[in-house]
Each structure stands twice: as C-alpha cells, then as structure tokens.
Amino acid sequence: MNESNREPTLSVVDPTIAQLIADEERRETVKLRLIPSENYVSRAVLEASGSVLTNKYSEGYANKRYYEGQQIVDEIENLACSRLCELFGADHVNVQPYSGSPANLAVYFAFCQPHDPIMGLGLPAGGHLTHGWNVSITGKYFQSHAYGVRKEDHRIDFAEVRALAKEHKPKLMWCGTTAYPRILEFDKFREIADEVGAVLAADIAHISGLVAAGVHPSPIGIADVVTSTTHKTFRGPRGGMIFCKKEHAKAINRAVFPGLQGGPHNHVTAGIAVAAKEASMPEFKTYAQNVVDNAKVLAEALAGKGFDLVTGGTDNHLILLDLTPKNVPGKVAAQALDKAGIVGNYNSVPFDPRKPFDPSGLRIGTPAITSRGMGKDEMLKLADWMDRVVAAPDDDALLTQVAREVEELCRSFPPPGIPA
C-alpha cells in the first residue's frame, strides 16, 4: 500500500462535504440542466483540474517565472496556449485569468485609464455586467455608454451603436452577450470601432465552444481582443482566456500578471489544455452542431405551444422566453420548473416592465443536455413538460409527476464526468 492509499479519503475526513458533493452529482444526474452558461466537463477534464497542480505557485509566464520548480508547469501552460491558438486560429492567448470577469477586467486594464469612455450592450438587453453595467466596477470606474436592442425585433441596434460611438468616442467597445439568442455580427462592430478609433473587444464567454467548432462566426482576426470563459459551451474547467493580435500580447500579459492577479491556477490550466484537445476532435464539432440543432427544435416546439420567444427564435445555444402572454412571472416559472426537474433561470427580457429580481423572462439553453447525448425526441418531450408546468406552476402533484418522468428520461442519458 502506498502513502496516498493510507491517507484518509474525503468521506472519512469530511463526510459532510463528501455527502454534499454526492448530492450535487445526483442533482446533476436526475435533472435536466438548461442554464445556458452551464455544462458537464469530461472525466478527463475533471481529473486534470483536480490534480496536484493546485499545489504549485508559478507567478509569471513560461521561462519568466518568479519561483523555481516550473519545469512541468511551463510545459502544461505552453501546451494549453498552443492548442488554443491552433484551435481558434489566434496569434496569442493568455490562459491565466481566474474566470470570465477577471479576463474582462484585464482588458480594461490593458487599454483604458480610469474614467475613459467605454461601450457595451446593456444588461437588460442581454449584455454582461462587466461590459460597463452600473452596479459593476466597470460601470463605476469607467464612463460607460450602454447600447441596446431594437424595439421592433430585439436585435442589436447598430444605428444606436454608431450614434453613441460617434458621440462619446469610446476607448474600448465590447461586443458579447449573455442572453442574446442570435448570431453576433462582429464585422459590423469592427466597422464602427474603426470609424471612432476604439479598441474592439469580443466577449465570447457563452459561445466559445460554438466558435471553436465553426458553428458560430469567429471574431478572431476581426476584434483586437477576444475574451472567454472556459466552462460554458467550451466544456472546460472554470476559467478565463484572452486571445489577441500579436501587437497586444505584451499589454494583455502585463494586465493579467502583475496587473490584476498573482499565481495562475495551474490545475485549471491543465484542465483547459485537456478541454482544448477535446474541442479539436471531430466529435466536438458534432456536439456543437447538435447544441444548435437542439436549440432550434426546442425553440420551434415551444413556439408551437404559444410561447413568446425573444427575437422569434434562436441561432445559437440559448432561448429567451417572454412569459408575459402566459401570465406567469419568470421567477414563478423557474421555481416550478426546478421542482419538476427542469432547471433554467429567470431573466429580464428587453424592455422588461418588471424588476430584474422578478422579471418577465426565462432563459434556457441546450449545452448541458446535449453533452448527455440528448436529441430531437428529448427536445420535444422537454417542450411538452415545460408547457404543462408553466400552465400550472402551483400544481404540486403535476410537478412531482413531471419530475418523475424527467428522472426516468435522464436515466437513459448518463452525463459525462459523473460515475454511474
């Protein structure tokens, strides 16, 4: 028996946490997880990110570290970077940001001074907090001018983007979304950024897996900087990455370290390297295509049942439903659906008359259920369950019955990364 086998396991050292993790494994197994920013990582990614690499400090970058003992970590970080650059066709990538929000902060730090004018899609229109929304540090430390979507079709209002850009001359312009079901037209943003001399940053946190697989257009080569999380459609561990053109590599690296962070999370870097390898396989292309196909099938089925879809449908992995015509607030629907084993999140819709904590919408997506191998038949069942639950969110007997049916279906589609 070696040393590690004699060491007590988690369930011996901390049975409470061990049990809670087991409970979460069960929750992730028996429910349909529709939160569009969530996914399942593979067992391989889990192994890499739960490794001894968490023990190592390595401030700096490969061959320029501030501590000794980097022989192995340097190789891992170089592999993560070279795989990602090849996969995305990028000049340079930094994989050290702790998550998506710190990656975005590093972009501000690289290109802006405090109080500089910046632009991003407003939160209520489907943008992210870190693109200058007022409760975020990015809205407080910079002079933020939010653009929105058009009243008539809820698509990005490029006339407004151009007018605001000409008026305020932003240093930095964000394009990227967290609740927008349509293709992002990066070239249109590029045109406007060029007209006013702004740095264009694309935040592909939600869609980087789709971009890697070629089922959503890529901003690489169009935007000056591209940020992303690694844990959404990309199916890596929780982390962040920043791609940029060669001329910005130094500024980005300096902004991440020593500008914003200390030591990188090497166990996460290893997990990202594994995810990058997985995302370069033909199976991943199929996966990403299935994510989009499933979202379309689900959207059409829901529309057929009288649901109001923001923008009328979807081009990507997510669907935003305006529940106003169903006379059910988003939160009531989300809570009833969760009881029925269907987990989404309540969300504002564009021009929402209700408050952000009690909005009119529900946001759902197909990345996680597609990772389980679900397809068209399951999407149709899901639309049917959602319809029944939203029609009677207070009917506890119905919610219990649907939860039972959901669990039964889930049994046939074991998720990646979770032991049966």
Ligand X SMILES: *Cc1c(COP(=O)(O)O)cnc(C)c1O
- Enumerate the active-site residues: 57, 59, 203, 229, 232, 238
Residues of span 137-156 touching ligand X by CB under 6 A: none
> What whole-number distance in Å separates Cα of residue 206 and Cα of residue 392?
31
Alpha helices in 89-201 (DSSP H): 100-111, 137-140, 158-168, 186-196
Q: Which residue is nearest to ligand X (CB)?
A: 100
> What whole-number distance in Å separates Cα of residue 275 and Cα of residue 237?
8
Residue 208 engages ligand X in binding (rule: CB under 6 A): no
Give DSSP secondary structure letters for 261-276: -SS--HHHHHHHHHHH
Stretch that binds ligand X, among 170-178, 338-346, 348-356, 359-367 (CB under 6 A): 170-178
Nearer to ligand X, 178 or 294 (CB): 178
Nearer to ligand X, 128 or 326 (CB): 128
Among 51, 99, 143, 261, binds ligand X (CB under 6 A): 99
Q: How many residues bind ligand X (CB under 6 A)?
A: 14
Least Å distance between CB 123 and ligand X? 11
Among 70, 178, 233, 370, binds ligand X (CB under 6 A): 178
Residue 224: which residues within 8 A CB-CB, separation 6 or more? 199, 200, 201, 244, 245, 248
- Reference 165, options 198, 202, 122, 129; nearest CA is 198
Least Å distance between CB 38 and ligand X? 10
> What whole-number distance in Å separates Cα of residue 57 and Cα of residue 304?
54
> What whole-number distance in Å separates Cα of residue 136 and Cα of residue 115?
14
Chain centroid, CA 366 distance in Å: 12
Least Å distance between CB 384 and ligand X? 29
232 close to 225: Cβ distance less than 8 angstroms: no
Least Å distance between CB 145 and ligand X? 18
Binding-residue pattern over the window 52 to 91 for ligand X, x denoting contact by CB under 6 A: ----------------------------------------
Residue 253 engages ligand X in binding (rule: CB under 6 A): no
According to DSSP, the β-strands at 172-176 and 32-33 are unpaired
Helix, strand, coil percentages (3-state) for the chain, rounded to 5, are 50, 15, 35
Among 31, 83, 128, 235, binds ligand X (CB under 6 A): 128
Instruction: Report the alpha-carbon angle 173-178-179, nearest 5.
Output: 120
Amino acid at 181: P
Instruction: Classify residue 45 by burial, with Cβ atoms within 10 Å: 0-12, 13-18, 19+.
Output: buried
Residue 101 engages ligand X in binding (rule: CB under 6 A): yes
Among 33, 34, 37, 416, binds ligand X (CB under 6 A): 37
341 close to 113: Cβ distance less than 8 angstroms: no
Nearer to ligand X, 130 or 266 (CB): 130
Nearer to ligand X, 208 or 253 (CB): 208
Stretch that binds ligand X, among 63-71, 172-180, 255-263, 392-400 (CB under 6 A): 172-180
Among 203, 224, 278, 322, binds ligand X (CB under 6 A): 203
> What whole-number distance in Å separates Cα of residue 7 and Cα of residue 13?
10
Stretch that binds ligand X, among 150-158, 199-207, 367-375, 395-403 (CB under 6 A): 199-207
Residue 29 engages ligand X in binding (rule: CB under 6 A): no
Nearer to ligand X, 344 or 393 (CB): 344
Residues of span 356-415 touching ligand X by CB under 6 A: none
In the block, residue with structure tokens 């809205």: 139
- Reference 168, options 101, 115, 100; nearest CA is 115
Stretch that binds ligand X, among 64-72, 99-107, 262-270, 323-331 (CB under 6 A): 99-107
Residue 176 engages ligand X in binding (rule: CB under 6 A): yes
Among 206, 248, 265, 372, binds ligand X (CB under 6 A): 206
Structure tokens at 217: 């257009």
Least Å distance between CB 204 and ligand X? 8
Binding site for ligand X (CB under 6 A): 37, 99-101, 104, 128, 130, 176-178, 203, 205-206, 229
